[in-house]
Amino acid sequence: MASNRPLFISFSMLDGEIKLVENAVRGEASAFGLLYDYYQPKIYRFVLIKVGRREDAEDLTHQVFLNAWQNIKSYKNLGFPFSSWLYRIAKNQIIDRYRTKKIELGLESADAENISDPSSESVEKNLEERMWLEKVVEAIRELKEDYQEVLIMRFIEDLSVKETAAAVNKSEGAVKLMQHRAMKELKKHVKEKHGTK
Amino acid sequence: MELNEILKKLKNVAPDSDYSRKSKAIILSQRQRQSFSFSIKDIAAGVFRSGWSMALAAVLLLLAIGSFSALKTIISPATTAVVDVAGLRAEAEVIDAQIQLTNINYSSLENKTSTVRMVIRGTKAPVKKADTLSNTSTTDEIIDTALLELSK
C-alpha cells in the first residue's frame, strides 16, 4: 500500500527525520533530543547573525526549542522539512524579543568575538578572516529582514530553495529573486563601508 | 576574500557545548502541551458536515411536500375526466325519482287493493293484508289480481 507521507527529501534533512518527528509528536523525548542535536546549531547561527549577541542568541535558541517541544503535538507534516517549522518559530521569537524588550542592537554589538566560533582555532588565529567576518555580518544585519533570512538559509545553512521558501513563507520564485537581490545588496554594503576585494 | 567564502566560514559558528547540553536537558524535562482537537479547521469541518445534513433533510422535506402536490395535480384531472360529476348527480336524481314513482305506484296500488279488499271483505272471506301482497308479488301481478277480482 502506498504511503501518503510527503516525499520531501533534502540533503539538509536528518536521516530518518520523518520517523523521528512522528515519534517526537507522540511524546518521545529521545527522538526530539536527536532533532535538537541536529538543528540547534543551525538555529543558533541564524539567531546569532540576526541579533548579534551571544547571550541573546542562546536565550532565544533555548526558547525556540522549548516552544517546539511543548507544541510539537500541533505540528503537521505538510511536506516540508522540520527545519522550516523551527526557522519560523525562531523568526517569531526574534520579532517578539524586539517588540517586548525593544532591544536596540547597534552594529558594534555584532562583533567578531560573538560571531566567531570559540572552538575554531583557524578562525581565532586568522585576524584578517575575523575582520572580514565582522564586516560581512554587519552588512547582513543592515539588509531587510527577508534578505537576511534568505542569505543565511541559502548561503550559510545550505538550505534548498524549496526549504527556504517554506521557512520564509514565500514562493520558490520569490526566494530566487530575493536571494539575487540580497547578494547584490550585501556586496554593495560591503563595498561602500569597508572597501572591497 | 570572496563574499561567498566568508558566508561559508560563518557555518563554523557553533553554540557553547555546555550551554547546549544544559538547554537540552531543561527542554526535555518539560511536559508537552496537549493539543486541542477543536481547531478552527475542525470546527469549520463540523459546521460544514452538519450543514450538509441539514441541507439534505431540507431537500428530502421539499421532495415529500412536492410529491404530494405532484400527485394532486397528476391524479385530479384523471378523476375529473373519468368521473362525470354532473352525470352522476343526474343519475342519482333519476334513481331518487324512480324510487319516489315506485312509492307512488305502490301507494296508489295499495289504496286500490284496499278498496278491492274492502269490497271482497263485504262479500267474502277476510282480506289479506296489503303488505303481505307486496312482499310476495310484483306490482303488475298485484294489478292483474286486482282486476281479476273486480271482473268477477
Apex A152 CA angle, A148 and A158, nearest 5 = 150
Q: Which domains, from first to last, does chain A contain?
A: 17-194 (1.10.1740.10)
Please tell me the predicted confidence (pLDDT) of residue A8.
47
Q: How many Cβ contacts (< 8 angstroms) between chains A and B?
A: 101
Average pLDDT, integer, range A33-62 = 93
Question: Between A134 and B22, where is the model more confident?
Answer: B22
Nearest CA in chain A to B10: A156
Interface test with B, best of A23, A28, A30, A44 (most B CBs within 10 A): A44
Average pLDDT, integer, range B53-70 = 85
Question: Between A176 and B99, where is the model more confident?
Answer: A176
Residue A62: burial class (beta carbons within 10 Å; 0-12, 13-18, 19+): buried
d(CA A138, CA B6): 12
Please tell me the predicted confidence (pLDDT) of residue B113.
60
Name the pLDDT band for B116 (thresholds 50, 70, 90): low
Please tell me the predicted confidence (pLDDT) of residue A1.
41
Apex A131 CA angle, A127 and A137, nearest 5 = 140
pLDDT exceeds 60 at position A141: yes
| Chain A residues with beta carbon closer than 8 angstroms to that of B27 | 32, 36, 62, 65-66, 69
Please tell me the predicted confidence (pLDDT) of residue A107.
38
A150-159 confidence digits (pLDDT tens)? 999 998 888 8
pLDDT exceeds 80 at position B98: no
Q: Where are the domains of chain B?
A: 41-83, 85-151
CB contact under 8 A, B10 and A183: no
Cα dist from B54 to A191, B13, B67, whole Å: 68, 60, 20
d(CA A124, CA A132): 12
pLDDT exceeds 50 at position A87: yes
pLDDT exceeds 70 at position B118: no
Catalogue the long-range contacts made by A91-96 (C-beta closer than 8 Å, 24 or more residues apart).
A91/A149, A91/A168, A93/A47, A93/A60, A93/A63, A93/A64, A93/A67, A94/A47, A94/A50, A94/A51, A94/A60
